[in-house]
Structure 1
Amino acid sequence: MLKKERYYSLDVFRGMTVALMITVNNPGSWSHVYAPLDHAQWAGCTPTDLVFPFFLFVVGNAMAFVIPRLREAGDKAFLSKVIRRSLLIFGIGLFLNWFPFIKWDGDHIVAKGWENIRIFGVLQRIAVAYLFGSLIIYYCKTKTAIALSVAILLIYWWLCYVLGSPGDPYSLQGWFGTKMVDIPILGTNHMYHGEGVPFDPEGIASSMAPVVQVIIGYLTGRYIRLKGKSYEMVTHLFVAGALLLFVGAFWGQFFIISKKIWTSTFVLLSSGWALIILAVIIYFIELKSKRTWLDKFFNVFGKNPLFIFVLSGLLPRLLWMIRIPAGTENGQPVYTNPLAWFYDHVCKPVFANEYNSSLLYAICFIVFMWVIVYFMDKKKIYIKV
C-alpha cells in the first residue's frame, strides 16, 4: 500500500534542480564559464549536463503522487489533464522562444517573424516526455512500463547506429536525426543553430529517450511511497543508482554518452546520479532530520518551479531590449542593456579573473530569483499548470 507521507526532501531536490538550471543558463559571460558549469561539447557529461535530465526525473517523481488520484477520477479526467497540461507547457516554451516578439534592427524596432522562430526547446521537451511518459505509466503495469523503457532505449540505439553515417553514426554530422527527421519536419529556420549548423538538441528525433527519464522518476517516487521513510528504501535507491551508473558507463563504450542527442547511455548515467543524490538528501533530511539554510533556500524554488524558470527566461529577454548609451565606436553609437551594464560595472570590477565575475553574476541572478519565490511562498502564491 502506498504510504501518504510528506517528503520535504523531494521538494528540496526539485528546487535544487530548478535553481541550478537557472544558474547555468545565466552566466555573466558565455566566454567565461567554468567547465563544470558548462555543457560537454558533444560526448561526455558535466555536472551541468545532469540538470535537465534531473528535471525530467523530478517530473516523473511528482507523478507518483498524482497518478493514483487520476486513476480514481477515471480515464477521461486523466487524458484531459495530461493533454491539456502538455499542450500548455509546450505553448509556454514556444512563447518563450518568440518573446518579446520584437527586436532591434539597427536603430529601429521590428517584429520577430514566425519564419525564424525555434519550435522546440527545454519546455517543449518536458511537455513531450511528460505526455508519453504519463500514457505509459497510466495504462501499463509496472513490469510493462519497465519493459517498454528498455525497448525504447535499445530501439533508439539501433536507430542511431543503423541510420547514422557508416563509421561515424553518433557525431554531429553523422547522427541520423537531423537530416532524416528534424530538418524535413521542422525546417532549418525553426531549429537551433548554436552548433554552427542546423541541429536541435531538443528536437523530434532525440525525444524518445527522455520519456524513459520520466518513467524512471515515476518508478522511484512510487518505490519511495511503497517503502516509506526507511533505511532500506534509501539503501535500495543508492544501490539502484550505482547500478544504473555502471550500466550506463559500460554501455557508453559502444554508444556515446551525449546530452546533445540524448543517448540511452546518457539516460542511464544521469538517472543513476539522480537516484544517488536523492538518496543522500532523503537520508539527511528525512532520516537524520538535519536541515540547513541550504535546503530552505532550495525548497522555495521547488514550490514554484515552472513559474520561476519561465520568469528567468522572460526577464533577460525583456531587459535586453532596453538600450543604454555606452559611447561610440568608429563614429557609431554603442549601446548596452541593464544586465550587461550590471555585469560590466558591478561584477567585473570585483575580480581580476573574469570567470569569477561571470560566476558572481550568475549567483546574483539566482539570488534575485530566490527573493521572488521566497515572497511568493510567504504569501502562499503557487502557480501551477
Structure 2
Amino acid sequence: MKIRYRSLDVFRGATVCLMILVNNPGSWAHIYAPLEHAPWHGLTPTDLVFPFFLFAVGNALSFVIPRLQQAGPAEFWKKVIKRTLMIFGIGLFLNWYPFVRWNEGSLQFIRWVSSPTSGVRIFGVLQRIAVCYFFASVIVYYLKPRAAYFLCLILLLAYWALCILGNPSDPYSLNGWFGTNVDKAILHIPHMYKGEGVPFDPEGIASTMAAIVQIVFGYFVGIYIRNSSAEIPKDLTDKNDYRNPMFKMLTVLFVAAVGLLVTGFCWDMVFPVNKKIWTSSYTVYTTGLALLTLCVMIYFIEIKGSRGFLASFFEVFGKNPLFIFALSAFFPKTAALFKTKDGVTPWNWLYTKVLVHTPGAKENGSLLYAICVILLMWAIAWWMDKRKIYIKV
C-alpha cells in the first residue's frame, strides 16, 4: 500500500516557518531568548531549526534516490549537480543582492572584495544545504546502507579528531577552533562571516563534515518509513488495526531517537553540543530531537488522522520550502533600496511605525512583526499551492 506521509510535509513546513520566524524579528536588539542562538555551547529552540531542515532534506532524498538509481548514474549526476548549483547559486546571489547599498546618500556598487577585511560572503544557509545535499546524495547513491552508516560514523569521529588535533589546548572555543584557519586559507577573510566580531563562518568548510551526516540520517529514517509502508496489508482500512506496521515502525523510530539523544548527551560531556561549529555531538543530539518530533507527528497525523489547523498551516510551507525561504530573504533586501532618511523601508515600516508601540516588553512588538512576516509568506505559499505551482529548487 503506497502512502504519502503528510507528516513529512508538515515537519518540513514547520521547520521553514520557524526559519522565517527567527530570521525576521522587528528588531535584532529585542528578541526573546528562545528565538536567539546559544552564545556558544548549548542549545536554544532556534538552534534546532537548521539541523531539523537538513534532516527533512534527507527524508525527501529517500523518495528521490530510488528513482535515480533506476534511471542510472548519468541521470543521477545531472540531477544532483544541477540542484546543488541552483541552491548554492541562489544563496550566493542573496548574499550579494541587491548589488548596491546606500552610502552617504548615494547608491554604491557592492564589490566582490571591497577591502582586505570585507567583501561578499561565500557561504550561508542555502550554500550549506547545497553542499550537504551533494555529498549526502553521493553517499547514499553509491553505498549500501551499512557502508553509508559506517562512513557517517567515520566522518563524525574524524571531525572530532580534527578539532582536537587542530588545537589540543583549546579545540572548541571561538578563537581556538581549527576550522577558522581552514576558511581563512580557502575562502579568505573578506568572504567570511563577521557576526561574532572576528572572521568566523558558522557555515564554513570544516564543520560541513558533521552537517552532511544530518542529511544521511534523515535519509535512513525516510527509507525505513517507506519500507514499513510497503508492509501494510492491502485490506487494511483502519489505521488503528493491530496489523498496521506503523505501530512497530514508530516503536523502532522512538527507540532510535532516545538512543541518539542519550549518545549526544553523553558525547556533549567531552565534545560540547555547539551549533556554530556544528559539533558531532550536536548532529547526533539534534537528529534525535528531530526524529522524536517526527514520531509525534506521524502518530497524530498518520495514525490518529489529525487534520488540525496547525498541520494544515505548516503543510503549505512544506510544498515550496526553499523558494519561500529564499523569498523571505529577497523581500527585505529589495525593500532596502527604497530607504528613507530615517532608515524606514517598505519592509520594516510596519514595525518602525506601528508595532514598535506594542504595549509591554519591546520584544512583544518585535515578535509580532516576525509573525506578520510569517503570515505574508504563508499567504504566498497558500496561493501557490492552490494553483499547483511548485518550484523545484
User: TM (normalized to structure 2)?
Assistant: 0.93
Whether the 8 Å contact between 1:102 and 1:111 is mirrored in structure 2 is: yes
Q: Are 1:51 and 2:54 counterparts?
A: no
Residue in 1 that maps onto 2:18: 20
Q: Are 1:82 and 2:98 counterparts?
A: no
Residue in 1 that maps onto 2:385: 377
Residue in 2 that maps onto 1:97: 95
Residue identity in the other structure for 1:191:
M
Which of 161, 172, 175 is matched with 1:170 structurally? 172
1:183-224 per-residue CA deviation (whole Å, 9 max, x = no partner) reads 011110000000000000001111100110010000000000
Residue in 1 that maps onto 2:346: 338
Residue in 1 that maps onto 2:246: 230
Residue in 2 that maps onto 1:158: 161
Alignment of 1:187-198 (within 5 A): 187-198=188-199
Residue in 2 that maps onto 1:255: 271
Whether the 8 Å contact between 1:60 and 1:216 is mirrored in structure 2 is: yes
Residue in 2 that maps onto 1:119: 122
Whether the 8 Å contact between 1:14 and 1:55 is mirrored in structure 2 is: yes
Residue in 1 that maps onto 2:132: 129
SS at the partner of 1:320? helix
Whether the 8 Å contact between 2:331 and 2:347 is mirrored in structure 1 is: no
- The CA deviation at 1:335 is 3.5
**Worse-matched range after superposition: 346-355 or 91-100:** 346-355
Residue in 1 that maps onto 2:363: 355
Structure 2 CA distance, aligned partners of 1:66 and 1:338?
40
1:24-83 per-residue CA deviation (whole Å, 9 max, x = no partner) reads 111111111111111001100111101001111111110111111101100110011111
Alignment of 1:307-318 (within 5 A): 307-318=323-334
Consecutive unaligned residues of structure 1, counting only runs of 5 or more, are: 326-333
- The CA deviation at 1:342 is 1.3
Residue in 2 that maps onto 1:213: 214
SS at the partner of 1:303? coil
1:299-335 per-residue CA deviation (whole Å, 9 max, x = no partner) reads 110000011000000001111221224xxxxxxxx34
Q: Are 1:273 and 2:289 counterparts?
A: yes
1:205-256 per-residue CA deviation (whole Å, 9 max, x = no partner) reads 1110011001000000000011126111112111111110110010000001
SS at the partner of 1:109? strand
Which of 364, 372, 380 is matched with 2:372 structurally? 364
Which of 136, 144, 152 is matched with 1:141 structurally? 144
1:354-380 per-residue CA deviation (whole Å, 9 max, x = no partner) reads 111111010000001000010111111
Percent sequence identity over matched residues?
Answer: 57
Residue in 2 that maps onto 1:330: none
Structure 1 CA distance, aligned partners of 2:200 and 2:266?
27
Whether the 8 Å contact between 1:324 and 1:338 is mirrored in structure 2 is: no
Structure 2 CA distance, aligned partners of 1:340 and 1:286?
40
Residue identity in the other structure for 1:195:
E
Structure 2 CA distance, aligned partners of 1:245 and 1:239?
10
Residue identity in the other structure for 1:169:
P
Whether the 8 Å contact between 2:132 and 2:208 is mirrored in structure 1 is: yes
Structure 1 CA distance, aligned partners of 2:177 and 2:62?
34
Residue identity in the other structure for 1:297:
F
SS at the partner of 2:48? helix
Whether the 8 Å contact between 2:58 and 2:215 is mirrored in structure 1 is: yes
Consecutive unaligned residues of structure 2, counting only runs of 5 or more, are: 114-118, 230-244
- The CA deviation at 1:346 is 1.7
Whether the 8 Å contact between 1:64 and 1:219 is mirrored in structure 2 is: yes
Q: Which stretches of structure 1, 4 residues or more, deviate above 6 A after TM superposition?
A: none
Whether the 8 Å contact between 1:97 and 1:118 is mirrored in structure 2 is: yes
After superposition, the CA RMSD in angstroms is 1.0
SS at the partner of 2:102? strand
**What is the number of residues matched between the two proteins?**
373
Alignment of 1:278-317 (within 5 A): 278-317=294-333
Structure 1 CA distance, aligned partners of 2:369 and 2:60?
32
SS at the partner of 1:103? strand
1:70-127 per-residue CA deviation (whole Å, 9 max, x = no partner) reads 0110011001111111111111110010001110011110111111100000011001
- The CA deviation at 1:336 is 2.1
Structure 2 CA distance, aligned partners of 1:351 and 1:79?
55
Residue in 1 that maps onto 2:239: none
Whether the 8 Å contact between 2:128 and 2:208 is mirrored in structure 1 is: yes
SS at the partner of 2:338? coil
Residue in 1 that maps onto 2:2: 4
User: TM (normalized to structure 1)?
Assistant: 0.95
**Cα–Cα, structure 1 residues 352 and 344, in superposed 2: closer, same or farther, change >3 Å?**
farther
Whether the 8 Å contact between 2:58 and 2:216 is mirrored in structure 1 is: yes
Whether the 8 Å contact between 2:344 and 2:352 is mirrored in structure 1 is: no
Structure 2 CA distance, aligned partners of 1:98 and 1:237?
41
Structure 2 CA distance, aligned partners of 1:267 and 1:43?
13
